[in-house]
Amino acid sequence: MGSEPGTIVIVEDDENIADLVGLYLGREGYRVVKARDGESGLAAIETERPRLVVLDIGLPGAIDGLEVCRRLRKSTSVPVMMLTARDDEIDRVLGFEMGADDYVVKPFSPRELTVRIRAILRRGTELHLGEAEILRIGDIEVDNGRREVRLLGKVVPMTAREYDLLAYLAQNRGLALSRRQLLDGVWGTGWYGDERTVDVHIGQLRKKLGAALQLGTVWGIGYRLD
């Protein structure tokens, strides 16, 4: 990440949680900006242009965390780490469908949160620096220099995690990869969340790229990009 880790915006109405997360991220060298509701969070993100957003789902007011994430995805691919008070699969699926890259369930370890944030940012940097060429899969182009996905020449908006997953599949095309292999390769070996997270992101890729994405399910194993 270099000598300047950059800015992270925390959108969280619980002042104690925001302060604790901010303390840990500050120790990692990040500049932290806090917001307590959806409107001020969106304003802070637009002004600060952060490297990552930590976003609570249960925000007060008319704009909750899911709506904040949905609006962000209309204009930016900034990574989003969601915080949820319930270990509810519906919350997780909705969060991913709105464009979140990862999530943690309250109460959580601030140390775990910082490790996951580092993994998201490191993976993006590794792909950007290590794979500068354009990977072509039929009508799809995965441009690792620009971190863009194009279908028939038109850019398809992707979250950071969706992009990383597609890039990893493209780099290993023709191979049957298990969910655990995909988690280790994209989320990082330190990530220990539910393996069904992979299925949700695969579903998003299929929805966005349609029949152009020749991504098959290998029953009992995982997935293979042909």
Within 13 A of 171's CA, how many CA atoms are on the CB side?
16
Q: Which two tokens stand for residue 150?
A: 């194009």
Q: What kind of architecture, by CATH, is found in domain 7-123?
A: 3-Layer(aba) Sandwich (3.40)
Report how far residue 87's alpha carbon sits from residue 90's, in angstroms, rounded to the nearest whole number.
9
Bridging pattern class, strands 102-105 and 80-84 = parallel
Cross-strand pairs, 105: 84
Tens place of pLDDT per residue across the chain (226 aa): 444 578 999 999 999 999 999 999 999 899 999 999 999 999 999 999 998 999 999 898 889 998 999 898 887 878 899 888 766 666 777 777 787 888 888 888 888 888 888 877 776 555 554 455 788 888 999 887 778 899 998 999 888 888 889 988 988 888 898 988 888 888 876 666 677 888 888 999 999 999 999 999 998 888 999 8
User: What global pTM score does this model have?
Assistant: 0.66
Helices (H) and strands (E) in the chain, counts: 8, 12
Which residue shows structure tokens 């994430």? 69
- In degrees and rounded to multiples of 5, residue 206 shows phi and psi of -65, -40
**How distant is the alpha carbon of residue 220 from its chain centre?**
26
Bridging pattern class, strands 7-11 and 52-56 = parallel
The full set of domain ranges for the chain reads 7-123, 132-225
Enter the CATH code of domain 132-225: 1.10.10.10
Listed residue (4, 32, 6, 2) closest to 17, CA to CA: 32
pLDDT of residue 166: 92
